[in-house]
Amino acid sequence: MCGIIGYTGNRQARDVILAGLRRLEYRGYDSAGIAIGNGSLNVFKDKGDLDHLVKIIPEMRGKFGIGHTRWATHGKPMKNNSHPMVDCNGEIALVHNGIIENNVSLREELMKKGHVFRSETDTEVVVHLLEEYYDGDLEVAMRKTLARLQGSYAVAAMHQKENGKIVGARNISPLVVGLGKRENFLASDVPAILEYTDRMIYLLDGEIITLTKDTVRITDFKGKSIKRNWQKVEMTLEGAEKGGYEHFMLKEIFEQPNSIRDTILGSNLNAESGYSFDLKPDTVKIIACGTSYHAGYVGKYMMEELARTPTTVELASEYRFSSDTSQAPLIIGISQSGETTDTLSAIKTAKKRGFSTLGIVNIVGSTMTREADSVFYTRAGLEVGVAATKTYITQLIAMLSISIKMGVAKEHLGIDDARYLTQEMRKLPKHVRSVLDQSDAIFDLAQEISGARSMFFLGRNMNFPVALEGALKMKEISYIHAEGYPGGELKHGPLALVTEETPVIAIAVKDQTYEKMLGNIGEVSARGAMVIAIGTEGDRELEKYADHVIYIPEVPPLFTPILTSVVLQLLAYHTANILGCEIDKPRHLAKSVTVE
């Protein structure tokens, strides 16, 4: 993970870099630091997030520099392990996102040559290699250095003697170049520099970039020049502001009606229109991580019911090591960022196995959009909160749209049924709004459960993955231990943990699992657990079983995960807020997970 940025131009680099780091903070916030060139090299860095750095950073004048916000991999969060890293003489500064896998052997080699290491990081070998190979030209030194590295990296470096020059390179970790007027930028992600320019070049693996304020030179690792055209980025920065909400997460939860509408509009849902991928695969395999995996898991039920297509879901980090024996599957990778290394590696593995791949991605221009054979864009807009909310909801919409299309193509779903479902889908923004209207009532329930040390989330069928997602949201932002289980599975072990101290959140909407869920609620109530149920509007029966009920509007059963998920997002949000947690930046986490 980590976010990196570089600037060269006529502005004070410190201001541009600090503003950019603010927008990159979602990539990690264990430490932050910047280096500014001004004839000499000034480096300032510390453990802690950007707010801390901004409070203590001195005036640093100079018109080119680099910055970093860290998610720790090698070495604890502490000042010495913060970036930028500098060489022995304090002449070269470097920032890095990724992991240098052969850092141990390189460190030994460099130490034997007399280099003095000051950190425990894998990154530090890179700056000492630059020092070792430097002979008056940072780009040349970078090329020689990269030839020695194994692993993933986006790097940016500067040398105090080469005024106004920034050299960067990419292998696996993302890096984008922003072209300004008499100024140029480099960053892990577009929003960091979007305030200054919308003309971007997405660097590819194996490319080196050398920037001055007037020149941009891209070469391959052998030194051959590469010509690339810039692209105009359509993204706006609106999503990067809180817009009056207390947290980005809450704002993003409330943006979901619009995100759903935009994704439906973009999904080309007319039953007659086509997609660019195979709509009649024999089987489907969905690969993703975290919340995106849960969206894929819900998608499995949609795919099997609407398109009668056998569908499996695998964690991307596990897929690579499996011996996939499926016959002609369509592989669907789901990733909001399009940069999750585990998911990208899984897509690459699938392609090597000869399978065709489809990416469901939110970020335009991200790596997955280039790796996958076809792309379905979710249109959630920029999501800043580390906990995924609106991007997840739009992934569910994407899975629903694709399942309907496949159902029609495979003739399991009649055109009229498909039209009915798409009409119902268009009502979803309104239904989500009615769930959002219950935010205050959900807050009251959050107060009831915020003292718990552990809780269970139960669901069945397509609401089982929603239970997993509800538990994930709760644990990642409130730090309360939570587990998601299929309602029927509790009695096979976990019931032993249920007491009056473990609240149970049970999804008991009116579908074919309803009666069974009532039974499961009875089982946990009998053990003293306080039960909050999520039910279908008008279902008064449920109130006899549960201590509290939150209702969602009546929709086709396959659509219920979209509404039940919103209830659970709000429950996690309010619980974490009552506990005073850092909701947008949960401890140890980062939004874009670019390590394996």
Q: Which stretch binds ligand F6R (CB under 6 A): 129-137, 217-225, 254-262, 329-337?
A: 329-337
Distance of CA 214 to the CA centre of its chain: 34
Q: Which stretch binds ligand F6R (CB under 6 A): 185-193, 231-239, 287-295, 401-409?
A: 287-295
Would you count residue 387 as binding ligand F6R (CB under 6 A)?
Answer: yes
Residue 26 vs 456, nearer CB to ligand F6R: 26
CA 292 – CA 81 distance, rounded (Å)? 31
Would you count residue 562 as binding ligand F6R (CB under 6 A)?
Answer: no
Considering the complex, what minimum distance in angstroms separates the CB of residue 62 from ligand F6R?
34
User: Using CB atoms within 10 A of its CB, is residue 308 exposed (0-12), middle (13-18) or buried (19+)?
Assistant: middle
CA 322 – CA 345 distance, rounded (Å)? 13
Would you count residue 290 as binding ligand F6R (CB under 6 A)?
Answer: yes
- Judged by CB under 6 A, the residue of 337, 349, 461, 513 near ligand F6R is 337
Q: Which regions of 379-492 does DSSP assign to beta strands (E)?
A: 454-459, 481-486
Write out the two tokens for 109. Answer: 């080699």
Q: Which of 45, 47, 405, 591 is catalytic?
A: 591
CA 35 – CA 534 distance, rounded (Å)? 52
Residue 32 vs 477, nearer CB to ligand F6R: 477
Considering the complex, what minimum distance in angstroms separates the CB of residue 324 from ligand F6R?
20
Would you count residue 289 as binding ligand F6R (CB under 6 A)?
Answer: yes
Residue 124 vs 483, nearer CB to ligand F6R: 483
Considering the complex, what minimum distance in angstroms separates the CB of residue 477 from ligand F6R?
8
271 vs 263, 268, 412, CA distance in Å?
A: 16, 8, 13
Residue 165 vs 390, nearer CB to ligand F6R: 390
Task: Please check whether residue 531 is in contact with residue 537, taking contact to mean a CB–CB distance below 8 angstroms.
Answer: no
Considering the complex, what minimum distance in angstroms separates the CB of residue 289 from ligand F6R?
4
Q: Which residue is nearest to ligand F6R (CB)?
A: 290
Residue 145 vs 378, nearer CB to ligand F6R: 378
Binding mask 340-359 for ligand F6R (x = CB under 6 A): x--x----------------
Q: Which stretch binds ligand F6R (CB under 6 A): 22-30, 56-64, 286-294, 481-489?
A: 286-294
State yes or no: is 280 an active-site residue: no
Write out the two tokens for 384. Answer: 């800043």
Q: Which of 2, 165, 289, 473 is catalytic?
A: 2
State yes or no: is 430 an active-site residue: no
Q: What is the DSSP letter of 363?
A: S
One-character DSSP codes across 73-114 = SSS-SSGGGSSSEE-TTS-EEEEEEEEETTHHHHHHHHHHTT
Would you count residue 367 as binding ligand F6R (CB under 6 A)?
Answer: no
Task: Please check whether residue 14 is in contact with residue 61, taking contact to mean a CB–CB distance below 8 angstroms.
Answer: yes
CA 94 – CA 159 distance, rounded (Å)? 9
CA 27 – CA 21 distance, rounded (Å)? 10
Would you count residue 388 as binding ligand F6R (CB under 6 A)?
Answer: yes
Considering the complex, what minimum distance in angstroms separates the CB of residue 553 from ligand F6R?
25
Residue 131 vs 476, nearer CB to ligand F6R: 476
CA 186 – CA 189 distance, rounded (Å)? 9
Task: Please check whether residue 228 is in contact with residue 217, taking contact to mean a CB–CB distance below 8 angstroms.
Answer: no
Binding positions for ligand F6R, 459-488, rule CB under 6 A: 476
CA 581 – CA 254 distance, rounded (Å)? 20
Binding mask 427-456 for ligand F6R (x = CB under 6 A): ------------------------------
Would you count residue 157 as binding ligand F6R (CB under 6 A)?
Answer: no
**Binding residues for ligand F6R, how many (CB under 6 A)?**
13
One-character DSSP codes across 333-350 = EEESSS--HHHHHHHHHH
Residues that bind ligand F6R (CB under 6 A): 289-292, 335-337, 340, 343, 387-388, 476, 593
Active-site annotation, residues: 2, 591
